[in-house]
Amino acid sequence: MPPEPTSPERRLKTMRPADSVEAFGRLPTSNSLFTFAIASFPMNRSSTTVALATAAAATVTVVLWWRSRARRCKAFPPAKPVEDLIRRGLRKQDLPSEADAIVIGAGPAGLSLAVLLGNFGRKVLVLEQHDRAGGGLHSFTEHGYEFETGFHYLGEMQKGAELRSIVDSLTNEEVEFTNLDARSGGIYDKVVFQNGSDHLGVPNGLEQWLEVLQQKFPEEREAIAVYGRDLKAAMVTFFPTMVWRTLPFDWLRKLLYPLLAAPAMKLSKPASERLDEITRNGKLKAFMGYLALGCIGMTDAAADWRSILGVQVHFSEGAYFPHGGPSAITRAMVQKIESQGGRVYVRARVDDLLWEGQSCCGVVLEKDSLTVRAPIVVSSVGLHNTERFLREKPCHDAFVERLRPLQRTHGHLFLFVGLKGSAAELNLPSNNLWVLPGEDLSRRMAEFHADHEAPFGYVGLAFPSAKDPSYHERNPDRCTCAVVAGDVPWDWFEKWQSTKVRHRGQDYEAFKKSFEERLLDILYTQYPQTKGRVEYVNMGTPLDTNFYLGKTQGESYGLQQTLEKTNADLTWLFAKPKVPHWPKGLLLAGQDVTGDGFAPAVVSAIFASCAVEGFVRGWFNVISMLGLRGTLRALF
């Protein structure tokens, strides 16, 4: 006999991401990156205090012992003063012969790791192939306009949040952040459908977000309640999983998996499958899953539901933008690295690794085949870029086999627009605008991939100059707009990969121009006040992503956040990956180890620092940045 049909209400009420989630009640007021789920550790306050005191005493003992035996390299040669630290070019006479650690790539992960290792007295050399440090955290100036490359906003930057405390430590508290929803009518994102059929503003606070959805879809209250429970589960299971991934021994990870990692894995399933379980309302699904498009570069067709929830949780207390733009974060971290005795060089492409037997012991630079030795080398430039260093090594075939199920994300089109006039004069918002082609995001993206003249899979519009309160002090009577469209398959641009930047031919320029005109039309439709104010336009493609950010197939976000990626995170993709014959001394950091974005970059740096310094020292470093109050708040 066929099973008895159930009503949607009964079906929804039986759904639970985890049995323990019901105990958490309403959403916590703090949901930062490092919020600890005390329900996972049933201790009373006194026993926890004793445990903390014991751990602190043991940690101090370990630290003193380690410092008494640790060997550090001699000081780096003095470097010529430069006008801007994030653009310090490599000079042969300034290059040290050895370092305590070398980090390949000066994106947010590489810079964060250099600071973390510098906290332990290590002199860290950071090498970047681009002409400025920062990766996605850098700006550039063209025709008098200052543009941001891809930094839209950042969550968990409210004062007192654990991630904010860590960022303050990484930057010596030299960077201030502005809450975007306070400058844009209480929302940090606005989601609209291209045909004008509907729109929705996304407010600060998860409770407020759920309330907005309930007001918009009163008939879907049960579905939205299930979605809210998933968000709560994602919130309280992140930190234990993060701790689990830094544990030093296989047997310990196996022992603690049920306690630390298993609760989070109950949320791991294809996002489209979970959305189908939650609701049949296509528009509600689109609003629940829109952040996956611009923040992890995927639709709900294959994305892990945990990743989508994690992005929404990240912005639960609103979105922020740094004063001075994202380069201010980069500049502050580079300055701290140099104050610790380290150095960051740009135009310093690493050509190969130095080897002693099967152990990595340094790098070979492309420039004059210069070499620098170090007992620790960390690659933060992605797994596929790292693969080229391992060719003809015993681990290579096994590493390639591990990579096979992990797909790269697609690329994007980037339109940089310079506008005459101030943000106030043009009435430009500080929130981002996401333009969706329709309710079924996966189908619409597939249609775009099949025909580049079809509506874009999505378009994101932002005005960085309206987000940064200090922008008009540096650039009076000027505004900038960033338009991002995706996702763009690599094979559309692959035939031009051997051509040089700015010399790719007329057919390439004509292809670019067709996209440029369409994106400008969307800008004028959504913000008609910008028409007639455009003074400068520049279009970037996946080829530019390869050239400027060192990617391999224009992949803006590295690896896709799929179930296969989640499985890799649990089985082998650690800072020191579990790959047969993996070289001693070589570690991984960056977005491929965790996920795309600034916060995951910081997390990957913590993973790598724990692998270098040891679990106890690595976490002691984090606790010292949080301070006693922040640590206790995270624990209690």
**Percent of the chain having pLDDT more than 90?**
74
Strands 586-588 and 377-379: parallel
pLDDT in tens, 533-579: 999 999 999 999 998 888 889 898 889 999 999 999 999 999 999 99
Q: Which of 607, 633, 629 is nearest to 619 (CA)?
A: 607
Kindly indicate the confidence band of residue 149, based on its pLDDT and cuts at 50, 70 and 90. Answer: confident
pLDDT in tens, 340-350: 999 999 999 99
Q: CB atoms < 10 A from the CB of 159, how many?
A: 8
Kindly indicate the confidence band of residue 22, based on its pLDDT and cuts at 50, 70 and 90. Answer: very low
Positive or negative CA dihedral for 449, 452, 458, 463?
A: positive
Residue with the bigger pLDDT between 618 and 47: it is 618
Structure tokens at 583: 């070289």
CA distance 307 to 76: 41
Residue 75 near residue 85 (C-beta atoms within 8 A): no
Classify residue 135 by its DSSP letter: G
CA distance 304 to 564: 9
Residue 557 near residue 594 (C-beta atoms within 8 A): no
CA distance 150 to 550: 15
CA distance 338 to 84: 13
CA distance 334 to 329: 9
Question: Residues 286-290: contacts with CB within 8 Å, 24+ apart?
Answer: 286/191, 286/436, 286/438, 286/439, 286/440, 286/441, 287/191, 287/200, 287/213, 287/216, 288/213, 288/227, 289/441, 290/189, 290/191, 290/434, 290/436, 290/441, 290/458
CA distance 195 to 553: 32
CA distance 238 to 33: 7
Q: Element (H or E) spanning 226, and its range? A: helix 221-245
Is the pLDDT score of 32 beyond 80?
no
pLDDT in tens, 569-616: 999 999 999 999 999 999 999 999 999 889 999 999 999 999 999 999
CA distance 635 to 227: 26
Is the pLDDT score of 629 beyond 90?
no
Is the pLDDT score of 11 beyond 80?
no
Structure tokens at 111: 């810079």
Is the pLDDT score of 34 beyond 80?
no
Task: State residue 12's pLDDT score.
Answer: 42
CA distance 35 to 316: 13
Alpha helices in 298-436 (DSSP H): 305-314, 327-339, 383-387, 396-403, 423-426
Structure tokens at 120: 């332990």
Kindly indicate the confidence band of residue 633, based on its pLDDT and cuts at 50, 70 and 90. Answer: low
Residues pairing with 622 in the sheet: none
Q: Which amino acid makes up residue 496?
A: W
Is the pLDDT score of 185 beyond 60?
yes
Is the pLDDT score of 47 beyond 70?
no
- Stretch 400-422: mean pLDDT, rounded? 96
Strands 411-420 and 478-488: antiparallel
Is the pLDDT score of 64 beyond 90?
no
Q: Between helices 282-289 and 206-216, what is the axis angle to 10°?
A: 160
Residue 401 near residue 581 (C-beta atoms within 8 A): no
Q: Element (H or E) spanning 542, and its range? A: helix 542-549
Strands 350-356 and 371-373: unpaired
Kindly indicate the confidence band of residue 15, based on its pLDDT and cuts at 50, 70 and 90. Answer: very low
- CATH architecture of the domain formed by 55-141+324-406+558-635: 3-Layer(bba) Sandwich (3.50)
Instruction: Give the mean pLDDT of the chain.
Output: 88
Is the pLDDT score of 30 beyond 50?
no
Position of tokens 């003095």?
78
**Cβ-based neighbours of 506, under 8 Å, separated by 6 or more:** none
Is the pLDDT score of 59 beyond 60?
no
CA distance 193 to 75: 57
How are strands ordered across the β-sheet holding 359-365? 350-356, 359-365, 371-373
Residue 448 near residue 459 (C-beta atoms within 8 A): no
Taking CA atoms, 14 is separated from 30, 223, 229, 278, in Å, by: 28, 11, 12, 11
Task: State residue 148's pLDDT score.
Answer: 87
Q: State pTM to two decimals.
A: 0.89
Residue with the bigger pLDDT between 61 and 377: it is 377
Residue 299 near residue 289 (C-beta atoms within 8 A): yes
- Among 49-53, 227-231, 353-357, 419-423, the minimum mean pLDDT is found in 49-53
Q: Which of 278, 293, 287 is nearest to 152 (CA)?
A: 293
Task: State residue 10's pLDDT score.
Answer: 40
CA distance 570 to 196: 43
Task: State residue 136's pLDDT score.
Answer: 84
Q: Which of 515, 557, 555 is nearest to 539 (CA)?
A: 515
Domain ranges of the chain: 1-30+205-234+254-316, 55-141+324-406+558-635, 177-204+411-488+494-540
Residue with the bigger pLDDT between 423 and 30: it is 423
pLDDT in tens, 437-483: 999 999 999 999 999 999 999 999 999 999 999 999 999 999 999 99
CA distance 494 to 551: 13
Position of tokens 């956040």?
561
Peptide bond between residue 544 and the one before it cis (omega within 30 degrees of 0): no
Classify residue 588 by its DSSP letter: E
Residue 169 near residue 606 (C-beta atoms within 8 A): no
Is the pLDDT score of 31 beyond 50?
no
Task: Report the b/e string of 573-603 with b at 16+ CB within 10 A.
Answer: bbbbbebeebbebbbbbbbbbbbbbbbbbbb
Position of tokens 């790598």?
608
Task: Tell me how far apart the terminal alpha carbons of the chain are, to the nearest angstrom.
Answer: 52
Q: Compute the radius of gyration of the chain from its Cα atoms.
A: 24
Taking CA atoms, 45 is separated from 30, 32, 262, 456, 632, in Å, by: 20, 22, 25, 54, 11
Kindly indicate the confidence band of residue 501, based on its pLDDT and cuts at 50, 70 and 90. Answer: confident
CA distance 576 to 589: 9
Is the pLDDT score of 428 beyond 60?
yes
Structure tokens at 634: 């995270």
Position of tokens 């004069």?
425
Strands 371-373 and 359-365: antiparallel
CA distance 37 to 24: 9
Is the pLDDT score of 42 beyond 70?
no
Classify residue 77 by its DSSP letter: P
Kindly indicate the confidence band of residue 160, based on its pLDDT and cuts at 50, 70 and 90. Answer: confident
> How remote is the C-alpha of 468 from its chain's centroid?
20
C-alpha angle 366/105/389, rounded to 5°? 55
Residue 309 near residue 295 (C-beta atoms within 8 A): no
pLDDT in tens, 371-402: 999 999 999 999 999 999 999 999 999 999 99
Kindly indicate the confidence band of residue 311, based on its pLDDT and cuts at 50, 70 and 90. Answer: very high
